[in-house]
Structure 1
Amino acid sequence: MDAADTEKKIEEEQDKLSKLEDAKAEQERVEAEKEEADKKAEEAAA
């Protein structure tokens, strides 16, 4: 395993991490939208 292999491995791991963070941010956004919709539904029902 040389430096180039190590560098490539690090880049792959960082890419995976970045994708995970993007997915987590998307999930949080979806949950926030759902809460907002629930709130509006409650207000409409009130």
Structure 2
Amino acid sequence: MFGFLKKVADYTRDAVGASQYLAQGLAVTFDHLRRRPVTVQYPYE
């Protein structure tokens, strides 16, 4: 019985950790989407 609960707890911890990493990655992506481009046009060389 306790082995099953440990497996469920481990799975839940892994799922929460994965969702946190996913949220961090999406936060960076959406932050970059909102930024204005730094270089609009490169100068002629």
In which range does the TM-score fall when normalised by the shorter chain? 0.7 to 0.9
Unaligned 5+ runs, structure 2: 41-45
The equivalent of 2:27 in structure 1 is 33
1:23 paired residue among 13, 17, 21: 17
Q: Which aligned segments of 4 or more residues in structure 1 are displaced greater than 2 angstroms?
A: none
Q: Count the aligned residue pairs.
A: 38
Structure 2 length as normaliser, TM-score? 0.73
Unaligned 5+ runs, structure 1: 1-6
Aligned Cα RMSD in Å? 1.2
1:20 and 1:11 map into 2 onto residues whose CA distance is: 14
More helix by share: 1
User: Which structure is larger by alpha-carbon Rg, 1 or 2?
Assistant: 2
